[in-house]
Amino acid sequence: MAAAVAAICFGSPAVALARPKTDTVVLKNGDRITCEIKKLERGLLQVSTNDIGTISIEWLKVASVGSTFIFEVETTAGSLHYGSLEPGAAGELGVVLGDTRVTVTLSDVVRITTIEATFWDRLYGNIGAGGSYTQSSGVAQASLNFLLGARRPAFEWQTSVDATLTAQENEPDTGRFNGQVGYTRLLRNRWLVPGYVMLERNTDLGYELRATAALGVGRTMIQTNRTLLRLGAAVAANREVPVDGDTITNIELNFPFAYEVFTYDYPKTDLTVGLTAYPSLSDWGRFRFNSDLTLSRELFTSDFYVAFTLYDDYDSRPPTEDASKNDVGVTFSLGWKF
């Protein structure tokens, strides 16, 4: 059993080949679809068919699924199961690997990932661009955001860029930049070990560059086909280059909070709330707090969206004297998901 799980987790050259569309999906209204199951995520089952291309089906409308190929199946409790998919009794799904068969309730399944997927098939992300308004400068701005990631049975990685440029006549350009590369080890029962390195720039808050490395522990408290709630704690070290002054080394704690609500009825709508507190250990009394709220809505097709983001970066003791303690902004953007 352990050897079989290891084999499907690390993959083999054969699994990179395209496979035939022999999977079956039966809907609660009796319709039967012969297809290739791609994935289940955020309440939508994505399948590829010969006649009508790739379609998304609401998971609540699915009565049963079947496939002889190997999948990773995750439940609301965070349990991971590996194997082929077999229809079970009403409202149940069988996950079979060798002589082992595990039965799960369909309504408890929150993610199905094909183990046979190639590297490119596992990639996900989005890119968006637009304009924004920042309270600290009071002028128009241009913004760009980018996310690229992939998930495997044992880990997930992401890289992201979020940049805002402010240009004002007769004034030097200012900007807000955040670039991050993160790696998360996925453990049992929704526990995880995240680590990341990050580069930031925000001249309005008094620093030209901040380089941070952090390692911590977290847990997904809630995961359903409608919501996700994740908490964490980490220790972080950073080096700051102030706009005016000497380079500073800081040791901080890091307490992130992430909450997402998503709907899959057209037009699909996602609400994401991110809050992170940074109490300093090396500069006692200094406290930083970042918050952002993003509302995105499907536009034209499921691949395109329009998004509204409100962010607030706070530093009780900026590294440059007389720098602003708050940078509050609003961003509107058009984007593409892949």
Cα–Cα distance measured from residue 88 to residue 92, given in angstroms and rounded to the nearest whole number: 5
Cα–Cα distance measured from residue 177 to residue 61, given in angstroms and rounded to the nearest whole number: 42
| 65 and 88 housed in the same domain | yes
| 11 and 103 housed in the same domain | yes
Per-residue pLDDT of the chain (338 residues; tens, 9 = 90+): 444 444 444 444 334 445 788 999 999 999 999 999 999 988 999 999 988 888 889 999 999 999 999 999 999 998 889 999 999 888 999 999 999 999 999 999 999 988 766 777 778 899 999 876 666 656 777 889 999 999 887 899 999 999 988 777 766 777 789 999 999 999 988 999 999 999 999 988 999 999 999 999 999 999 999 999 999 999 999 999 999 989 999 999 999 999 999 887 777 889 999 999 999 999 999 999 999 999 999 887 768 999 999 999 999 999 998 899 999 888 889 999 88
| 17 and 162 housed in the same domain | no
**Other CB atoms within 10 A of residue 51 CB:** 8
* CB within 8 Å of 19: residues ≥ 6 apart: 36, 69, 116
As for how many domains the chain has, the answer is 2
| 230 and 320 housed in the same domain | yes
| 7 and 36 housed in the same domain | yes
| 113 and 132 housed in the same domain | no
The pTM of the full predicted model, rounded to 2 decimals, is 0.82
Among candidate residues 101, 117, 133, the one where a domain is terminated = 117
Secondary structure in 3-state letters for the chain: CHHHHHHHHHCCHHHHCCCCCCEEEEECCCCEEEEEEEEEECCEEEEEECCCEEEEEEHHHEEEEEEEEEEEEEECCCCEEEEEEEECCCCEEEEEECCEEEEEEHHHEEEEEECCCCHHHHEEEEEEEEEEEECCCCCEEEEEEEEEEEECCCEEEEEEEEEEEECCCCCCCEEEEEEEEEEEEECHHHEEEEEEEEEEEEHHHCEEEEEEEEEEEEEEEEECCCEEEEEEEEEEEEEEEECCCCCEEEEEEEEEEEEEEEECCCCCEEEEEEEEEEEECCCCCCEEEEEEEEEEEEECEEEEEEEEEEEEEEECCCCCCCCCCEEEEEEEEEEEEC
Cα–Cα distance measured from residue 115 to residue 71, given in angstroms and rounded to the nearest whole number: 5
Secondary structure in 3-state letters for 279-321: EECCCCCCEEEEEEEEEEEEECEEEEEEEEEEEEEEECCCCCC
Among candidate residues 117, 152, 186, the one where a domain is terminated = 117
| 218 and 301 housed in the same domain | yes
| 127 and 112 housed in the same domain | no
Q: Domain residues for 246?
A: 121-337
| 144 and 170 housed in the same domain | yes
Checking 229-235 for CB contacts under 8 A at 24+ apart, the result is 229/258, 229/259, 229/260, 230/256, 230/257, 230/258, 230/259, 231/255, 231/256, 231/257, 232/192, 232/194, 232/256, 234/194
| 103 and 133 housed in the same domain | no
CATH for 313: 2.40.160.40
| 275 and 314 housed in the same domain | yes
| 96 and 140 housed in the same domain | no
Among candidate residues 61, 93, 117, the one where a domain is terminated = 117
